Amino acid sequence: MNNILLITSSPRGSASHSTEIAGRLAAHLVDRHPGAVVTHRDLDAEPLPHLDGLMLSALGAANREGLSPRMFAATLRADAAIAQLFAADAIIIAAPMINFGLPTTLKAWFDHVLRAGTTFRYTENGPEGLVTGKKAYVVTATGGVYSSGPMAPLDFQAPYLKQLLNFIGITDIEQVAIEGVAFGSEAADKAVAEAKARVDDLFAAAAA
Ligand SMILES: Cc1cc2nc3c(=O)[nH]c(=O)nc-3n(C[C@H](O)[C@H](O)[C@H](O)COP(=O)(O)O)c2cc1C
79: phi > 0 → left, psi -120 to 50 → alpha, else beta; which? alpha
Specify the residue with its C-alpha closest to ligand 1, atom 31. 98
Specify the residue with its C-alpha closest to ligand 1, atom 2. 98
Q: Whose CA is closest to 105, among 47, 163, 53? A: 47
Mean pLDDT of 127-156: 97
How far is it, in rounded angstroms, from Cα 157 to Cα 139?
11
Residue 207 in this model has a pLDDT that exceeds 70: no
pLDDT in tens, 113-123: 999 999 999 99
Residue 142 alpha carbon, nearest atom of ligand 1: 17
CB 105 within 8 A of CB 151: no
Q: Which CATH number fits domain 3-207: 3.40.50.360, 3.40.50.300, 3.90.1310.10, 3.40.50.720?
A: 3.40.50.360
How far is CA 81 from each of CA 30, 62, 166, rounded to the nearest angstrom? Answer: 22, 20, 18
Q: Specify the pLDDT at position 1.
A: 79
Specify the residue with its C-alpha closest to ligand 1, atom 9. 100
Greatest alpha-carbon pair distance for the chain in Å reads: 58
How far is it, in rounded angstroms, from Cα 61 to Cα 53?
12
Burial (CB count within 10 angstroms: exposed 0-12, middle 13-18, buried 19+), residue 52: exposed
The domain ranges of the chain are 3-207
CB 29 within 8 A of CB 90: yes
CB 128 within 8 A of CB 117: no
Pocket around ligand 1 at a 6 A CB cut-off = 10, 12, 16-19, 96-100, 141-144, 181-182
The alpha carbon of 143 and the centre of ligand 1 are apart by a number of angstroms equal to 5
How far is it, in rounded angstroms, from Cα 14 to Cα 89?
27
* Mutational pocket test of ligand 1: of 8, 43, 99, the residue with most ligand atoms within 8 Å of the beta carbon: 99
Label residue 190 by pLDDT band (50, 70, 90). very high
The alpha carbon of 185 and the centre of ligand 1 are apart by a number of angstroms equal to 14
Specify the residue with its C-alpha closest to ligand 1, atom 10. 143
Residue 145 in this model has a pLDDT that exceeds 70: yes
* Mutational pocket test of ligand 1: of 10, 142, 183, the residue with most ligand atoms within 8 Å of the beta carbon: 142
pLDDT in tens, 6-65: 999 999 999 999 999 999 999 999 999 999 999 999 999 999 999 999 999 999 998 999
The alpha carbon of 65 and the centre of ligand 1 are apart by a number of angstroms equal to 43
How far is it, in rounded angstroms, from Cα 81 to Cα 104?
16
